[in-house]
């Protein structure tokens, strides 16, 4: 039996993961903004599931929730930072509040959750943290700029922190799902569109979302099964891309980026002092 702490257990990948873990006999502390949405889990798995109500935008409350979870459970083997949502719209259409809310939840909330777990994991001799990111942590679609800002941000944070805490036996997996048949789309915050953006790339993506022409191939249950399998690997990879379309998209983007980088090699070198100048 393993012990887990998972944020965002009310729906989506977090809910599916929680249910699979409870069925196999693991113990789960679920962080949620609304405990009523996990009441069924409390009733069915009263000895295995413990819900803690917390809003990830409240950094003090996040730290208190983490401390409470470790005090209640003791050793926690796996942390899953999963809570998050999307904002869709050209950046000009979004508001300051849209920006603050998604950065405070997806980015700052995830950072504080991870940071709060580290002293506990160090004291217990190690642990594993799964940060749910997205294919959108490596590639970008028009209309999702604020969402990408949060995901690219958390990926840079995790890649740095993973190096900091490796000596303590703490490792990370950045889970990068492609579009999946969860409730992510229905929970998108969508600001009022500006007529000036009619026919532009962001409007075309909006049309694909609303018309259903964007076929969502990702099976969230299969994604969770892969996450569980990889989470048991002795030395897991840092990034785990889930979904064929996501893999193709990330591969193509990285190939284009690498080709552009190679083309700049000579130009980049001219920004340095020359060997003769350094010798002076």
By residue count, the chain amounts to 280
Give the whole-angstrom CA distance, residue 113 versus residue 63. Answer: 7
Radius of gyration of the chain (CA): 21
Question: Does residue 133 have an active-site annotation?
Answer: yes
Conformation bin of residue 169: beta by default, left when phi > 0, alpha when psi is -120 to 50: left
Q: Phi and psi dihedrals of 91, rounded to 5?
A: -60, -30
Instruction: Report CA dihedral (80, 85, 91, 94) to the nearest 10 degrees.
Output: -130
**Cβ–Cβ < 8 Å for 82, 61:** no
Q: Quick one: tokens of 82?
A: 């999963």
Strand spans (E) along 202-259: 239-242
Give the whole-angstrom CA distance, residue 225 versus residue 17. Answer: 8
Q: Which of 151, 197, 202, 231 is catalytic?
A: 151
Query: How big is the CA angle at 83 (ends 79 and 89), to the nearest 5 degrees?
Result: 150
Helix (H) or strand (E) holding 81: strand 78-81
Question: Does residue 268 have an active-site annotation?
Answer: no
Q: Which of 45, 81, 147, 231 is catalytic?
A: 147
Give the orientation angle of helix 12-23 with respect to helix 220-231, to 10 degrees.
60
Neighbours of 59 (CB within 10 A): 17
Q: Which of 133, 134, 145, 202 is catalytic?
A: 133
Question: Does residue 85 have an active-site annotation?
Answer: no
Active site residues: 133, 147, 151
């Amino acid at each position: 039996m393993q012990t887990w702490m998972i944020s965002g257990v009310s729906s989506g990948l977090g809910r599916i993961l929680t249910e699979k873990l409870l069925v196999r006999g693991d113990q789960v502390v679920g962080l949620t903004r609304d405990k009523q949405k996990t009441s069924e889990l409390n009733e069915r798995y009263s000895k295995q599931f413990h819900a803690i109500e917390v809003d990830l935008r409240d950094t003090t409350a996040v730290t208190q929730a983490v401390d409470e979870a470790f005090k209640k459970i003791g050793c926690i083997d796996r942390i899953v930072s999963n809570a998050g949502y999307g904002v869709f719209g050209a950046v000009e259409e979004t508001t300051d509040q849209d920006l603050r809310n998604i950065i405070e939840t997806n980015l700052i909330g995830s950072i504080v959750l991870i940071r709060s777990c580290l002293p506990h994991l160090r004291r217990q001799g190690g642990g594993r943290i799964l940060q749910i990111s997205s294919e959108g942590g490596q590639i970008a679609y028009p209309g999702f700029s604020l969402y990408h800002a949060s995901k690219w941000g958390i990926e840079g944070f995790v890649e740095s922190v993973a190096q900091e805490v490796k000596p303590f036996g703490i490792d990370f997996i950045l889970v990068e799902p492609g579009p999946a048949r969860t409730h992510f789309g229905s929970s998108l915050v969508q600001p009022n569109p500006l007529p000036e953006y009619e026919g532009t790339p962001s409007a075309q993506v909006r049309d694909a979302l609303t018309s259903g022409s964007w076929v969502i191939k990702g099976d969230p249950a299969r994604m969770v099964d892969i996450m569980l399998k990889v989470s048991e690997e002795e030395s897991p990879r840092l990034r785990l891309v889930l979904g064929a379309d996501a893999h193709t998209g990330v591969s193509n983007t990285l190939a284009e980026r690498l080709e552009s980088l190679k083309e700049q090699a000579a130009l980049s070198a001219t920004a340095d002092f020359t060997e003769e100048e350094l010798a002076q």
